[in-house]
Amino acid sequence: MNLDLLKQKFVEKYGEGEFSGYFSPGRVNLIGEHTDYNGGFVFPCALSFGAYCLIRKTDRKTVKLASLNLPFETEVDVKDLNKPVGKEWVNYPIGVFAQFLKKGIQFENGADILIFGDVPNGAGLSSSAALEMVTAVAVNDTWNLGIDRLELVKMSQKAEHEFAGVMCGIMDQFASGMGKANHAIFLNCDTLDYDLVPVELDGIKIVISNTNSPHKLDSGKYNQRVAECHAAVDAISQYKPIKALADITWEEFKQLEDKIEDQTARKRARHVVSEIERTEEAVTELKAGNIEKFGQLMNGSHDSLRDDYEVTGHELDTMVEEARKIEGVIGSRMTGGGFGGCTVSLVKEEAIDTFIAEVGKNYEQKTGLKPAFYVAEIGDGAKKLF
């Protein structure tokens, strides 16, 4: 949807007058999955699609929230911007307002807010983080609150924890808030130190394949993985004091893994510790221009997520299997939380048409689901549009 049409929709909804527009992107993670809440490294990049927020401050004491994607809309008193509204989409922006209230910020005025997102819902490309970040940046700017960007990232993560009940790591909000065009973010999720790494893929494109099997992070499986990782940390801590799985090297883990008596927790930890090492190696290889090796590490990441972390499932595995059969595919893996959603593949430009046709046909035959494909552009983080 173009910006002029968005502006027109806002005026139709709320009437004439001055208003502003903001954008925050979805993200795709190239490698480093389920490492963020374990204090490890991730390597996401912001996408060119995401969430839009058009906003106008009003003299009312209420905030009106509407979306062009979903029918539910509501009006909330400024004093009640810390109370969830059922299980509706508005809890993401309300959850962000709640974080401002926690800081002692009082909203004397309300606002008209219109949301539009072009991240495919349920695709695992972090539409929720995009919505949280665009709200945080828009509110911060509209009320001239002066909160720095990194703090807005942390507030958006807390909104996800407290209003969506998903104990996500910091990666999604960080990529959405801090991304830069044509760069990926090599982020240490423990210290939040990061490096913007140029993604120079000569003759190669990033292709996102949507399984159209929606991922269900809030189903409890995600939080279950978090708990299993904590159990592994507790077991290892009897022999080597650690606070997170990122505190142990792959070599150390191999010597201590049999100390984790719970077989499931052991497998979860094996994925996390090996994935952290893979991610570090992948970034080194990318910087050196070794794209083939980067692709091999992507493949290893998916296999570990399938076998040890068990978050892939039939649809994601089928998509990856079919992708790897195509000549010109450098690497392919699931991306995001898993349990459905998307894969990310590095594909030589001359193979893209074949990739979309063949993978699409074979995937649909094996799953009964019609996939969607996006040739991704790496875009900027959250920003004001007008």
Question: How far is the C-alpha of 23 from the C-alpha of 28, rounded, in Å?
Answer: 17
Q: How far is CA 115 from CA 35, 50, 375, in A?
A: 31, 11, 24
Annotated catalytic residue within 36, 112, 172, 308:
172
Helix (H) or strand (E) holding 124: none
Question: How far is the C-alpha of 167 from the C-alpha of 338, rounded, in Å?
Answer: 15
Residue 386: how many other CB atoms lie within 10 Å: 9
Q: Rounded to 5 degrees, what are φ and ψ at 155?
A: -65, -40
Residue 204 three-state SS: strand
Q: Is 118 one of the catalytic residues?
A: no
Any long-range contacts for 81-89 (C-beta under 8 Å, 24+ apart)?
81/107, 84/163, 89/131
DSSP conformation class of 160: I
Any long-range contacts for 349-356 (C-beta under 8 Å, 24+ apart)?
349/203, 349/204, 349/205, 350/203, 351/326, 351/327, 352/205, 352/207, 354/326, 354/327, 354/328, 355/207, 355/323, 355/326, 355/328, 355/329, 356/207
Query: Taking CA 25 as the corner, what is the angle to CA 29 and CA 147, rounded to the nearest 5 degrees?
Result: 110
Question: How far is the C-alpha of 297 from the C-alpha of 31, rounded, in Å?
Answer: 8
Q: Are 117 and 127 in contact (CB under 8 A)?
A: yes
Which residues, at least 6 apart from 57, have a Cβ–Cβ distance to it below 8 Å? 109, 110, 111, 142, 143
- 8 class by beta-carbon count within 10 Å (0-12 exposed, 13-18 middle, 19+ buried): exposed
Which residues, at least 6 apart from 373, have a Cβ–Cβ distance to it below 8 Å? 207, 208, 209, 210, 355, 356, 359, 360
Which candidate, 130, 108, 112, places its Cα nearest to that of 48?
130
Token duo for residue 128? 């929720």
Q: Which residues are catalytic?
A: 172
